[in-house]
Chains A and B, each alone.
Chain A
Amino acid sequence: MKLALAVSFLSFAVSLQAQTQFPTPLSPRLANYDITARLDVEKRTIDATEILSWKNHSNDAIPDLQFHLYLNAFKNEKSTFFKESGGQLRGVKLDQAEGEMAWGSIEIESMKLLSLNGNETNIDLTKQIRFIQPDDDNKDDQTVAQVLLPSPVLPKGEAKLEIKFKSKLPKIFARTGYAANGKFFLVAQWFPKIGVYEAPGDRYVPLTAPQGRWNCHQFHGNSEFFADFGIYRVSITVPKNYVVGATGVLQSETEQGEEKTLVYYQEDVHDFAWTASPLFQVFEDSYQSKNGHRVKLIFLSQPQHADQAERHFAAVKNALEWAEEWLGVYPYSTLTIVDPCYGGGGAGGMEYPTFITAGTFWKLPLGIKTTEIVTVHEFGHQYFYGMLANNEFEEAWLDEGMNTWLELSVMRRYYAGESGKKSALGDKTSAIDFLGIRIGDVEQSRSAYSSPESAKRDTIVKPVWTYKRGGYGTFSYNKPGTMMLTLENILGEDLMKTVMRTYFERFKFKHPTTRDFIRTVNEVTGKDFTPFFEQFLYSTVALDYAVQSISNVASDEDDEANVASDDETNAKGDYRIKVVFERKEEAIAPMDVRVKFSDGSEFRDVWDGVARYKVYEFQKSAKAVAAYIDSENKHLLDVNLNNNALTAKPETTGFWKWAMNIMFWLQNLFLFFA
């Protein structure tokens, strides 16, 4: 075994030298993994050996190491994940009817310290492993392990460990496991993964703190992940007839009897996931960026979805083009898109570095664009999560919310026609355009946030496991996505682009925080947007501005003219006009206001929006015929856009149309009876 290890080390070193992908490292490369894994498709288990080289980037002497053991979330009903989620994620339940095979776990069989601070050692740490629960008092949760070292990892020192482990995969649940009786595997969160040590000055650890700390949260019902960048070399052995896809670039493929071994390699990523299935049909395409960088696109399709390969490739290419323009170039050379099998839907819609899972349906009509939405969204995570590697446990909006903005922007630009390019709400087709039902992606995303029940329910920035039940989607995806669109509308396209490109350039391959983003916005725009973010990220206030009233009082009359009066002029040709705008909720934002008069003239102003009411009075020969607040719908965060306009004359033609439509449907329903 020692010989095997030595060979493994040697080959790793050789491959690193021979196959360097990025001559200048893109990231600090603190956590580097060399994993040799074998999949047992019958037992649904993985036997593996992991060589972990971990660098202490801090000035602290660190006495212990902490590891995520995510699969233990599915070990039993006592895990924190299970208790919080009730055994379901996004409507997919852990199939307990499968008995023991439904559950998943990870067991560290042995852990050896191979070297410490440059000195070779051979110390067995297995007995030093203990489970800890940094987030709650659930002693039954085994998703985080702590290992005490015989001596600390010195500042800038390095620890190298050999970890033998066995992962038992659950029946597809929470993005990982097996389906189709072992004909489909999505292997994610599957290996002991070291936490992130945060030194003073990192993220929210004060620079003045005497010591840094491990950031290694338990696996929670809604939480995703947080890890340091590094180099991954993973050797995967599977039955010969299984098609494999994985993070990174395939380096080699060799067959031994009924099995084959594939070696994948990727620099500057912070996770590794893979899939294996004999069902996949493989499609390949490529994308060339404007600077000439080529990305190989691989789509692992279910046979019944083979006719949708082009839909997936088009979605990714559109997203690549958009991201290149708004953020920066995708630096990796591959992207693998996995189409989970029937029954494996729990593995769909997930992101890993250079590897995403999508999800579609047999003969899905082109007008139902869920396939494009999920593909674009998961690709977007290559930026928001992949390269901008925020802490998903603590600030999920930075990946999910910003990525929702990316998704909405891409869908608007490429799937909504010309109307979508003009305004966010002009897009009426980018989510659904089928059988007369037309819904834009922005509209459907915004609606999740704009209902009275959800608008003020929670704040955006908080640990994800502390969201009120059902709040994760709204407050880490929909509301922040809408907030980002609002910010874009306020700043304008060019400035927003500069903000986002600066943010990406400055924080790629790092762990950005909300604070970093706000600082970037303020710096690039030269304005203080802190109050904007304070309201929408850190408080529960809602935004709703309305036009409250219009009154036209003829100067020669005592009585106020009715707002619906048809009388356009008066004898003396003079009106006292009063238009009242109202702030109906607590959030404050400057608002464009506009008043239209019967002679065609217009009054425009920007109201600071601070007071509850803003009254505009005019003395004119023409009556006010309409008033608008935020008429361009810049503030998509406004929870009620229906009250943003008021007209002097009623207009009901559209209501007649829908009344006639409803009557027609009802009549036809009645005629089924007689």
Chain B
Amino acid sequence: MTKAIQRGFKGALSVWQASAWIYAINLLFALGFAMAFKNILSEEFANRDVSARLLEGFDFTFLSDLNYASLSVSSLMAMLGWLVVGYALVSVFLSGGVIATLLRGTFSAPDFFADSARYVGRFLALAVLFGLALLAPLIAFSIFLAIGRAMAESATSEAPLVIWTIVGIAIAFLKGAYFYLVFEVAKFEVVTENASPFRAFASALKIVTRHLASFYGILFAFLVIVSLIALLLHALAPEGKSGAGVFALALTQQAFVASRAFLRVASIGGLLWNYQDAKPKKELSPSGAQVSPSLEPTTQVAESQSDAEIKAESESK
């Protein structure tokens, strides 16, 4: 597991441009919304002497009296909804490029986007399967909560129900994490095995289940690293009570987001190498793709194949 994490970091470093692209696209999406938000506030309130109040921090009275402003909060919310959906699709799109690039060990923008495009159809299908799979922990959590509530009917304290709920959330989170790992490994299956979404998902279920500890270990190791960086940057972040302060705050925030983008690629790398170690060697089918010698991959990327070709190839097998 530790080796896989190390290799994940190495891989992410060697293709740091992938992280940069993820960060840039992330920034582009979020910046669009942030600017719209800022412009709406500016149009309505730039001359209303409220900027100073907002510099001090959260201002409930400003928010409550926004009711009377002509700005449309609902249009902003609609925009936000579309942005989230749009970014979710883009993220599915980019993940093919990230995996293939990690396997290749070198970054090339045309290849990155070509790979992204190559797998997007099947990755979207996997995303749907992942979404459906997530219903299981959600339903289980609802049942768990209902049981807790029924048991609490005769309780005299809310504490057991609170603990029960926290445990339920933790279990749901672990189950969700399990399906997330399956989703990730299924993507590896698609890239390395040209597998169909269903076959990849089924295969990933087996692999993750068999090697649950190492997959969970990698995931939580990265969660811990992200949390530590968050704590560090939170301690360093300025309050942002002046123009310079706001600039410094924004820089700190972006440092965190950039580090998260890098860690995201590193975590995919870690999971990928763990997947390679976990997968029975006989199942691997190298087919001449170019890979980085330093990463010693045991799988290859099918290059320049259309989805139709891959499907035909898969069916012929």
Contact = CB atoms under 8 A, between A and B. Distances in A.
A477 to B, nearest CB: 16
A256 interface: no
Interface string A275-313: 000010000000000000000000000111000000000
B45 A647 contact: no
A673 interface: yes
Interface stretch (A70-78, A440-448, A490-498): A440-448
Given A658-B54, A674-B94, A666 B30 contact: yes
Interface stretch (A229-237, A392-400, A649-657): A649-657
Interface string A657-674: 111111110111111011
Interface string B231-275: 000000000101100100110011011001100100000000000
A346 B48 CA distance: 44
Interface in A170-197: 180-181, 183-184
A361 interface: yes
B51 A655 contact: yes
A652 B46 contact: yes
A344 to B, nearest CB: 9
Nearest to A279: B156
Interface stretch (B85-93, B139-147, B277-285): B85-93
B82 interface: no
A436 interface: yes
A362 B166 CA distance: 13
B5 to A, nearest CB: 19
Contacts of B83: 666
Given A302-B156, A450-B67, A642-B68, A655 B60 contact: no
A666 B46 contact: no
Contacts of B92: 673-674
B101 to A, nearest CB: 13
Most buried by B among A436, A662, A670: A670
Contacts of A667: 26-27, 30, 253, 257
Interface stretch (B33-41, B201-209, B211-219, B302-310): B33-41
Given A362-B158, A651-B52, A443 B61 contact: yes
Main secondary structure of the interface of B (DSSP, over half): helix
Contact of A180 (B57, B154, B253, B254): B154
A389 interface: no
Contact of A653 (B30, B159, B246): B246
B72 interface: no
B49 interface: yes
Interface residues of B, number: 70
Contact of A652 (B34, B42, B95, B158): B42
Nearest to B251: A660
A673 B92 CA distance: 8
Contact of A439 (B45, B60, B152): B60
A646 B84 contact: no
B8 to A, nearest CB: 15
A655 B257 contact: no
Please indicate which of the listed interface residues A342, A645, A648, A666 has the most CB atoms of chain B within 10 Å of its own CB: A666
B77 interface: no
B47 A564 contact: yes
Given A343-B155, A651-B51, A674-B94, A660 B242 contact: no
B98 to A, nearest CB: 8
Interface in B76-113: 80, 83-84, 87-88, 90-92, 94-95, 98
B61 A446 contact: yes
B210 interface: no
Interface in A6-37: none
B157 A654 contact: no
Nearest to A184: B156
A56 to B, nearest CB: 47
B60 A443 contact: yes
Interface of A: 180-181, 183-184, 279, 302-304, 341-343, 361-363, 425, 428, 436-440, 443-444, 446-447, 450-452, 544, 563-564, 626, 628, 639-643, 645-664, 666-671, 673-674
6 contacts: A302-B157, A447-B61, A642-B62, A652-B46, A655-B54, A671-B261
